[in-house]
Amino acid sequence: MQNRYLDERTARDIDTRITKILNDLDNPEPPLRLEHVRELLKLDFGFYSSSNTGAIAETIHRLKVAGKQVISRPSLLIDAIKKWQLKALWVPDRKRILLDSELPPAKQRWGEAHEIGHSVLPWHDAVMHGDMKRTLSLACEEQVESEANFAAGRLLFLQDAFVEHVRSSPLTFESVKSLSKVFGNTITSTLWRAVESTDIAAFGMVSQHPKHEMSSEPLRYFVRSKKFCDLFPGVSAMQVFKVLQTFCFGNRGPIGKSDICFVDLSGTEHVFFVEAFFNSHETLTLGVYRRTKVSSFPQGGKTHYS
């Protein structure tokens, strides 16, 4: 899945809502405490088990106000959880966020923030009900999820406080790990936001280990900075993955780094420094622009690069 950027008007509208939340919380220092956000917004919170239909039904059964069922057809919610393997839910009727109890703790924070994102965007309420297959097109669903992701990112990373950190020093995998600790978020989500926050050409990728036997879905996410999108629209996640296969080794931690080249829209080659890290589950890759690849032909006819 490639990241997508919202139009300026939508992004500005969402950002205004996040600014109000942070202002009402007296502009906290990182890491943001989501329980404070829930308290401010008067959001309910709970867990369900995606592997236990009975537990899901019981959770839905308890979602009542004054003894009245708030979801007219609970089976729709159960079907959606199972069909789409949902890990988090926003139930507008009850202002309730539900997380899958089987979601790893490290990922629960992003799941919760994502659902908070849905909760603060009033136009999302209309698409959070009923049979999504009939009422929500794929394009609309992608737009809704992108908006919730944008809201979650701007909330968890405290808007421009994170952007200033990213742009004040060279973007490296070490800086991403450091910012992950400062803001209290996973390395994966920090990598994503760092790439989208930088003002240079850069990309991030989450994939299987490049040396392992190819799975049916080897690539999870391919995140590109705005400048990378503008200059290198033809570069694909699979293209990057195939290059990783040429220099990545090892089974945990840093598994490879190298300069690699991509061609821009004008046909000019440019050098990127690429680092890959395997956390025993997935490979996180960061590519950062270095320079234009300049060829010359000195004595002997050999090519060198500067």
- Residues 272-289 pLDDT 10s: 999 999 999 999 999 999
pLDDT greater at residue 251 or residue 156: 156
Packing angle between helix 105-119 and helix 34-41, nearest 10 degrees?
Answer: 30
Between 13-22, 137-146, 192-201, 227-236, the lowest mean confidence (pLDDT) is in: 137-146
* Global pTM value: 0.84
- Residues 155-209 pLDDT 10s: 999 999 999 999 999 999 999 999 999 999 999 999 999 999 999 999 999 999 9
CB 69 within 8 A of CB 63: yes
pLDDT of residue 137: 53
305 pLDDT exceeds 60?
A: no
pLDDT of residue 292: 97
pLDDT greater at residue 42 or residue 298: 42
- Residues 44-98 pLDDT 10s: 898 877 665 555 555 555 544 434 444 555 555 656 555 555 667 777 767 888 8
The sign of the torsion formed by the CA atoms of 156, 32, 28, 45 equals positive
Residue ranges covered by each domain of the chain: 8-156, 184-296
Topology at the third CATH level for domain 184-296 = Beta-Lactamase (3.30.450)
Nearest to 202 by CA among 226, 185, 236, 186: 226
Q: What is the CATH number of domain 8-156?
A: 1.10.10.2910
Whole-number Å distance between alpha carbons of 294 and 271: 10
Q: Would you place residue 131 in the very low, low, confident or very high pLDDT band (cuts 50, 70, 90)?
A: very low
Q: Would you place residue 33 in the very low, low, confident or very high pLDDT band (cuts 50, 70, 90)?
A: very high
pLDDT greater at residue 55 or residue 108: 108
Nearest to 262 by CA among 301, 285, 295, 236: 236
In percent, the amount of the chain with pLDDT more than 90 equals 66
